[in-house]
Structure formats: C-alpha cells, structure tokens
Chains A and B, each alone.
Chain A
C-alpha cells in the first residue's frame, strides 16, 4: 500500500449512471490530484487541489465533477459518461510543490 487509497478498484457503469470515485490519504499531504491514464497516452492531468481549494481544472468536461471536503479526501463524481472516458483514473498526493507524488492504485473505469 502506498498510503493513498482509491476505491473502488474497478467500476463498470452505463452512460446514464451516476457514480463517484474516492481517494483518501493520511500522509499529511496538502496537494491532491486526479489524473486520467489511457493506453499509450501520457497521464492527463484533470484537477489539482491545494489545501482543499481547486487550483487547476485542465479543461475537463463537466460530466466530471471533483470534490475535496478536506485535505485527506478527494472525490470524482461521474455522470452521463461516454465510452471514451473508459480509462484508469489515478489519484496522487504530495506535500507541496517540488516534491514527488505518491499515487494510489487507481480505479479502472469502463463505460458501457
């Protein structure tokens, strides 16, 4: 275990469903991130939170909605997704700028 826990590990959802991904860290990190990883593509940054405040939204479609209720928890709410949204969604955290990330194991999302 890395110290960053993501649930669920796998998720299959229909295009009309609503679901949420959860990320939790108790490493005392102040920054949390959502990345999307598709086959043979670079990790795509989606959202950045620093001290619970969203500091970056990387032109992500509104069908993805992040929530950060405190510095230890990060959610990604999903609704009316498309098949091309199928990917591995990785959460990461770090102490701050200039430090490396600690990643969670990811949620493998399949949209049918």
Chain B
C-alpha cells in the first residue's frame, strides 16, 4: 500500500526565514509526486514532480524530487505571513487512479 510521511508535523517561523518541508514516500510503481497548499479549505496545486533532480520553481517556492532516496522537499524562502497554511504532499503510482496524501505540515509564519 502506498504511503506518504511528511515532516515536521508543524513549524513556526518568523517572516523572512527560509523553511524546508519534507516528504518521504513508499510507492509500488511511482508516477508522480505533488505538493498542495491548503489555507482555509480547498487545497491548491503547487507542483508536480516526476523526474529526479529537476527543481521546479514558482516565485519563492521551489521543490525537488529524489527518486533514489524516495523523498521530496519543498523550500520557501523569505517567508511571509501569507505562506501560513497546511502543505500537503501526495503521490500517484501507475497502478492506481488516485492520489495518496500525507498528513501535511502546518506552517505558521509570525510577523
């Protein structure tokens, strides 16, 4: 059964700090790994990663995948209070038709 573990479970930082969120996974036949941000209710898509070592970037957010070590990281530089949210990691394998999610990391950015 596919499994996703995120760490830390929660994190409090000050504005301007850089944070790294971790996601490790166990998947039978890996297809992709996705990151979502959940502020109030609807998770919103951040990145989809399929290849090792290729960094995806969007503004102050970036993510990279290591398929050998089975993990991904999400980096946020120069954090702002608007980055406060739950960050969800999910994986999909070739055999299934669904995303399997981790429990999320709760990030709180203090001003």
- Cβ of B32 < 8 Å from any Cβ of A? yes
- Cβ of B85 < 8 Å from any Cβ of A? no
Interface-centre pick from A2, A41, A43 (highest chain B CB count, 10 A)? A43
- Cβ of B40 < 8 Å from any Cβ of A? yes
Residue numbers in B under 8 Å from A101 (CB-CB): 43, 45, 99
Residues of B within 8 A of A (CB): 4, 9, 31-32, 34, 36, 40-45, 48, 88, 90, 92, 97-104
B3 CB to nearest A CB, Å = 9
Interface of B is mostly: strand
- Cβ of A50 < 8 Å from any Cβ of B? yes
- Residue from B40, B98, B102 in contact with A105 in the complex, judged by beta carbons closer than 8 Å: B40
Residues of A within 8 A of B (CB): 2, 4, 31, 33, 35, 40-43, 45, 48, 50, 55-56, 88, 90, 97-98, 100-106, 108
A2 CB to nearest B CB, Å = 5
A20 CB to nearest B CB, Å = 19
Residue numbers in A under 8 Å from B100 (CB-CB): 42, 45
